[in-house]
Amino acid sequence: MKKTSLQFLKACSLSVALLGSVAIVASVAMPDVAYAKSGNGNGGGNGNGGGNGNGGGNDNGKGNGGGNGKSDKSGGGKAEKSTKKSGGDTSSAKKKKTKKAAAVVEPEVEAKPKKKDIAAELGVHPSELGALNAAHANENALKNASPNSRVGRIAAYRDAVLAGEELEGSLAEKEAALAELTEPTRASGEVKTDLDLAIEETGTAADEVTRLENELALAGGSDPAIEAELEAARGTLADAQAAELALQGEYDNALSYETLEGEIADLEQQIEDQPELERSLLEAAANKPVTDEVEATVKALLGL
């Protein structure tokens, strides 16, 4: 009986020794499985780095990683790599797509305003202008055109219109100057006759003063009779000079007034004749009948 119990104990010790060896061998051969049971993996998962993985140990280890990757092993998973591919920041990619999309959108191009057709606006068809369509020529062409060419004749018409505008300006200036003068009561010719007599009388009075001054000098510079005559002669000279001065002013005013009146009359006549002159020059440049509408259109084309 004692032998049987001893033998049984030996057999149990051998079994325990064999089981321990098997456990050691198993832990060496399958480190991941054994390590998974500890549940303390250092996986890179974000809270569930290696823990949520269905490793061999079915343990829910808690890692300290920053990713959301899933490890095939419980505990020691390397979840950090998975964040770069699947869970990375997509903001930069979105920005690139937005930039590309913005680059594709073409800016709106404003339609260029159509050039005004002056002839059409004035109700004149270009065919009615005929050769006068040459009024579209630029300033240099008008300036350098041959006088006998179509453009040259149009340029002559333009110059005549501009000259007519200058006439009107001159007329306004001269009318303003005339308003500043006093309207004379006598014609300048009549005043001139009186002025000439006054000039003659002044000369006579001046000669008398000179004669008496010389006579007084011969008398030794003192002679009551000569002195009295000299004083009277000087008074006469002063009166003659005053009369002459007044007549000279009257004459100058009358002459200026009459001159301006004549110039104004000439300008008024030229301005009155201007439309006929302009029309004749425009007709010389045209090859079709010139109406008031056609002439107005040509003026607009020439910027007049």
Per-residue pLDDT tens listing for the chain (304 residues): 444 555 555 555 555 555 554 444 444 444 444 343 444 444 444 444 444 444 444 444 444 444 444 444 444 444 444 444 444 454 444 444 444 444 455 555 555 555 555 555 556 777 888 888 888 878 888 888 888 888 999 999 999 999 999 999 999 999 999 999 999 999 999 999 999 999 999 999 999 999 999 999 999 989 999 999 999 999 999 999 999 999 999 999 999 999 999 999 999 999 999 999 999 999 998 888 888 888 899 888 888 8
Whole-number Cα distances in Å, 13 to 9, 10, 253: 6, 5, 160
Contacts by residues 115-120 (CB-CB < 8 Å, ≥ 24 positions apart): 118/297, 118/300, 118/301, 119/297, 119/301
Q: What is the pLDDT of residues 112-169, one digit of tens each?
A: 555 555 555 556 777 888 888 888 878 888 888 888 888 999 999 999 999 999 999 9
Q: pTM for the complete prediction?
A: 0.53
Which residue carries 């505990």 as its tokens? 75
Which residues on neighbouring strands pair with residue 45, listed in sequence order? Answer: 67
- What number of H helices and E strands is found in the chain? 11, 0
Distance between CA atoms of 1 and 10, rounded to whole angstroms?
14
Distance between CA atoms of 21 and 27, rounded to whole angstroms?
10
Paired tokens of 135: 């009024």
Angle between helices 224-285 and 292-301 (to 10 degrees): 100
Are the C-beta atoms of residues 263 and 181 closer than 8 Å to each other?
A: no
Angle between helices 224-285 and 150-180 (to 10 degrees): 150
Paired tokens of 116: 């005004």
Distance between CA atoms of 264 and 172, rounded to whole angstroms?
9
Paired tokens of 268: 């008024």
Paired tokens of 59: 């343990």
